[in-house]
């Protein structure tokens, strides 16, 4: 009889322990949900009910004297959870009010270094080489400027377009007059045919017109590269001077500064090459223009007689 009572009491204790553990698990899950939802009232209410429940269950099993320490630890767990849970919720970051003034972050302004034009003097080897290449372009220009050369090239292009129009007008009139002479006028007809043969310069005229167009384009490219070379050299010198004034941890690598000087030298070389090629083409076209003008005038005189 006594043995049966002991077994029954043990079973009840085990059952109660299982229920307590399940309750703790349920409380943990609900506490987590309350923490996530930030509902402090619901969390407090849940923890109070859980503590009361554990207190009632502990009173029912106080007389057994079995695993009393485990139950006290379980009750302490609930109390600790209550304290930590409430403290974590209370210490959460508050939601900013709509009327709160949002602070403006102040960023330190980047220090600017001013370099005057009088300071832009080539000093390094690469800078001097770039400057020497730019001087070659200036020497090739002589007393002229790119703007004047481009203006003259545009004028030459217009004159060639007018020559082309006059040439084909004369050629058409000459062909019509040659066909209008009777067969018996062999001498006059032969003279007109010879003049026609002299005017077979249509291919040459077309070549010269294209050459003037190319010369004009090269001249404009030479101007672009020349200005690019000057600007890049100034940038290289200015960056070198600024770099010397910067703190060591903010300085630019020297090879980057040298690269700017090399680019300036390359631009100047391209400008010189384009300028020389343009000069050759435009000078030839200008000289040939006079020959074509004389030939057209001769044809006009023959047709007028």
Higher pLDDT, 201 or 91: 201
pLDDT at 178 over 80: no
Structural domain range at position 59: 2-89
Residue 209 lies in a domain: yes
**pLDDT higher than 80, residue 83:** no
123 and 58 part of one domain:
no
Which pTM was predicted? 0.58
Q: Output the CA angle 109-112-115, nearest 5 degrees.
A: 175
252 with 124, same domain: the answer is yes
Q: pLDDT tens, 54-72?
A: 566 555 544 444 445 454 5
Nearest CA to 150 among 278, 24, 286, 18?
Answer: 278
Cα 66 to Cα 82: distance, rounded to the nearest angstrom: 26
3-class DSSP state of 110: coil
The answer to whether residue 242 is domain-embedded is yes
Report if residue 109 sits inside a domain: no
Confidence of residue 138 (pLDDT cuts 50, 70, 90): very high
* pLDDT tens digits for range 214-258: 999 999 999 999 999 999 999 999 989 888 887 776 667 778 889
CA–CA separation, 81 vs 189, rounded Å?
125
pLDDT band at 197 (very low <50, low <70, confident <90, very high): confident
- What would the mean pLDDT of 83-87 be, rounded to a whole number? 49
pLDDT digits (tens, 9 = 90+) for 256-301: 889 999 999 999 999 999 999 999 999 999 999 999 999 888 888 8
Q: What is the CATH number of the domain that holds 140?
A: 1.20.1270
Q: What is the CA radius of gyration of the chain?
A: 51
pLDDT at position 5: 41
Residue 98 in any domain: the answer is: no
**Residue 76: inside a domain, yes or no?**
yes
Number of domains composing the chain: 2
Instruction: Indicate the average pLDDT of the chain.
Output: 75
Residue 108 covered by a domain: no
Angle at CA 18, nearest 5°, toward 52 and 9? 95
H or E element that contains 3: helix 2-37
Based on the fold, state whether residues 233 and 167 are members of the same structural domain: yes
Specify whether 179 is located in the same domain as 288.
Answer: yes
Highest-scoring range by mean pLDDT, 7-16, 35-44, 70-79: 35-44
Task: Please indicate, yes or no, whether residues 271 and 140 belong to a single structural domain of this protein.
Answer: yes
Quote the crossing angle between the two packed helices 186-198 and 254-304, to the nearest 10°: 180
The per-residue pLDDT for 55 is: 62
Q: What is the DSSP string of 227-273?
A: HHHHHHHHHHHHHHHHHHHS-GGGPPPHHHHHHHHHHHHHHHHHHHH
Same domain, 156 and 234: yes
Report how far residue 19's alpha carbon sits from residue 11's, in angstroms, rounded to the nearest whole number: 12
Do residues 287 and 146 share a domain? yes
Chain length of the chain: 305
153 and 28 part of one domain: no
Work out the percent of the chain whose per-residue pLDDT is above 90: 37
User: Rounded to whole angstroms, how far apart are CA atoms 157 and 164?
Assistant: 11
Say if residues 170 and 298 touch (Cβ distance below 8 Å): no
C-alpha to C-alpha distances, 220 to 123, 142, 147, 161, 230, nearest whole angstrom: 30, 17, 9, 20, 16
Residues 191 and 288 in one domain: yes
pLDDT at 140: 96
Q: How far apart are CA 246 and CA 240, in angstroms?
A: 10
| Residue 101 falls inside a structural domain | no
- Of 50, 70, 89, which residue sits at a domain end? 89
Over residues 27-44, the mean pLDDT reads 61
168 or 76, which is more confident? Answer: 168
146 found inside a domain:
yes
Contact (Cβ atoms closer than 8 angstroms) between residue 270 and residue 220: no
Q: How far apart are CA 72 and CA 15, in angstroms?
A: 17
Element of type H or E holding 210:
helix 202-245
**Among candidate residues 68, 89, 110, the one where a domain is terminated:** 89
Verify that 153 and 62 share a domain, yes or no. no
**Shared-domain flag, residues 197 and 128:** yes
Q: Quick one: 129 and 253 in the same domain?
A: yes
């Amino acid at each position: 009889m006594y043995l049966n009572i002991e077994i029954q009491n043990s079973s009840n204790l085990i059952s109660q322990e299982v229920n307590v553990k399940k309750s703790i698990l349920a409380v943990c899950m609900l506490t987590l949900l309350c923490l996530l939802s930030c509902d402090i009232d619901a969390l407090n209410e849940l923890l109070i009910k859980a503590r009361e429940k554990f207190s009632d269950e502990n009173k029912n099993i106080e007389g057994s004297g079995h695993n009393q320490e485990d139950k006290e630890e379980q009750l302490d767990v609930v109390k600790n959870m209550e304290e930590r849970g409430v403290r974590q919720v209370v210490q959460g970051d508050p939601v900013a009010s709509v009327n709160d003034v949002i602070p403006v972050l102040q960023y330190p302004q980047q220090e600017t270094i001013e370099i005057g034009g009088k300071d832009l003097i080539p000093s390094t080897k690469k800078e001097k080489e770039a400057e020497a290449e730019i001087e070659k372009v200036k020497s090739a220009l002589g007393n002229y400027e790119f703007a004047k050369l481009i203006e003259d090239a545009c004028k030459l292009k217009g004159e060639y377009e007018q020559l082309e129009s006059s040439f084909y007008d004369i050629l058409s009139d000459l062909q019509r007059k040659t066909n209008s002479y009777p067969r018996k006028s062999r001498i006059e007809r032969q003279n007109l045919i010879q003049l026609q043969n002299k005017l077979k310069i249509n291919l040459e005229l077309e070549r010269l017109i294209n050459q003037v167009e190319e010369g004009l384009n090269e001249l404009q490219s030479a101007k672009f590269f020349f200005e690019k070379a000057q600007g890049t050299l100034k940038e290289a010198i200015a960056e070198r001077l600024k770099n010397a004034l910067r703190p060591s941890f903010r300085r630019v690598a020297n090879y980057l500064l040298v690269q700017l000087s090399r680019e300036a030298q390359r631009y100047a070389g391209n400008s010189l090459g384009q300028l020389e090629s343009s000069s050759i083409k435009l000078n030839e076209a200008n000289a040939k223009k006079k020959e074509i003008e004389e030939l057209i005038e001769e044809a006009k005189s023959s047709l007028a007689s």
